[in-house]
Amino acid sequence: MVPELSFKNILHEIEKLLLTNNIPLQELNQYQETRNITLLENLRFDPGEEANSPQFAQKLASLGDIYVNDAFSVSHRAHASTVGIPQYLPCFSGLALNSEFSHLSMIFKKPKHPITLIVGGKKVSDKIGVLKHLATKVDHILIGGACANSFYQAQGKDIKNSYSESNMLDMCKRLLASYSDKITLPVDFVENDNQNLDIGKQTIQLFSKIISKSKTVIWAGPLGKYEEARFNQGNISILHAVTKTGITSVIGGGDTIAALQPESEFQKVSFVSLGGGAMLEFLEKETLPGLEPLFKM
């Protein structure tokens, strides 16, 4: 057991939200039925969870009559609590999960063109599946963050001491060759210690112009080192462009949300996905293991 991951740390907040006191926290192997709400300890402390053990799933299923999954953010994992339990109980999607599914499905089922995909963050490898899958479906791809360094290096350009993924250069070359009419890279950067740490003013203008002509924007990954305010100006400026009236915007990923959430304009985003990795995988595969039993995909 990892103490900092114990649900004991959030028990008080759950009690406040549910307007009740003295909710018992129990481990599955020591569970004793009570008349009131019971909070089970973090399931990942049991190896049967990640192994999707049938025995563990059956034990969980024996505690209830129906199963509701409201955790989109873990539905890309084929664990006992996401794909195991539905084999033994009637299963349904929760309101939050249903909202994630409907908003993200809209991108494939009823897209409003032009569609612009904004990709940032540190690693191209984290976004490569999304880039490959959506490249044929979107009209524009704007690449920033450290991801842009790998694309620059793939073109033979000097990125000085900036971070890049050398093992992704061939893939970057292929994407640039196949979708040169869609991919837009930064034209300038904010630098520090010979590192590209944010998109520059000319890039902000270029990206904002493309976004202004879009009907749908999908954004995954920050465009600068947002942890320092001086390198978060690109994110803030692009957020203002995205939240213009008439643009349907979908933004997701923990780092992206952390970079943008303090801004008042963030409240104007059409939909914020809390999924992170689950959002990226859904955009890549149009399905997730934990969603398939719920929606019969």
pLDDT, tens only, 31-47: 998 888 999 999 999 99
The answer to the question of residue 291 being in a domain is no
The answer to the question of residue 293 being in a domain is no
Q: What is the pLDDT of residue 154?
A: 97
Please report, in angstroms and rounded to a whole number, the separation of the first and last CA atoms in the chain: 35
∠ CA 107-207-270 to the nearest 5 degrees? Answer: 35
Last residue of a domain, one of 43, 65, 97: 97
β-sheet bridge partners, residue 217? 116, 249
pLDDT, tens only, 19-35: 999 999 999 988 998 88
Determine contact, residues 115/185, Cβ cutoff 8 Å: no
pLDDT, tens only, 77-90: 999 999 999 999 99
pLDDT bucket at 170, cuts 50 / 70 / 90: very high
Last residue of a domain, one of 97, 132, 152: 97
Average pLDDT over residues 52-67: 96
Query: What whole-number distance in Å separates Cα of residue 236 and Cα of residue 257?
Result: 11
Look at the block and give the residue holding tokens 């040169």. 180
Residues 256 and 125 in one domain: yes
The answer to the question of residue 172 being in a domain is yes
Calculate the dihedral angle through the C-alpha atoms of 169, 174, 175, 177, rounding to the nearest 10 degrees.
120
Percent share of the chain, pLDDT over 70: 100
Element (H, E) at 237: helix 233-242
Residues 214 and 143 in one domain: yes
Core vs surface per residue 195-219: b (16+ CB within 10 A) or e: bbbbbbeebbebbbebbeebebbbb
Mean per-residue pLDDT of the chain: 95
CATH number for the domain spanning 227: value is: 3.40.50.1260
pLDDT, tens only, 201-256: 999 999 999 999 999 999 999 999 999 999 999 999 999 999 988 899 999 989 99
The answer to the question of residue 296 being in a domain is no
Residues 205 and 78 in one domain: no
Q: Assess whether pLDDT exceeds 60 at residue 56.
A: yes
Residues 78 and 136 in one domain: no
Domain of residue 193, residue span? 99-285
Residues 92 and 138 in one domain: no
The answer to the question of residue 297 being in a domain is no
Domain count, the chain: 2
The answer to the question of residue 295 being in a domain is no
Q: Radius of gyration (Cα) for the chain, nearest Å?
A: 22
Give the global pTM: 0.90
pLDDT, tens only, 103-149: 999 989 888 999 999 999 999 999 999 999 999 999 999 999 999 99
Q: Where are the alpha helices (DSSP H) in 110-200?
A: 124-134, 147-154, 169-178
Say which amino acid occupies 129.
G
* Nearest in space to 281 (alpha carbons), one of 253, 258, 259, 260: 253
Residues 165 and 234 in one domain: yes
pLDDT bucket at 296, cuts 50 / 70 / 90: confident
Last residue of a domain, one of 51, 75, 97: 97
- The HSE-up count of residue 242 (CA atoms within 13 Å, CB side) is 31
Q: Assess whether pLDDT exceeds 70 at residue 158.
A: yes
Q: Count CB-CB contacts under 10 A for residue 32.
A: 7
Q: What is the pLDDT of residue 297?
A: 55
The answer to the question of residue 217 being in a domain is yes
pLDDT, tens only, 172-197: 999 999 999 999 999 999 999 999 99
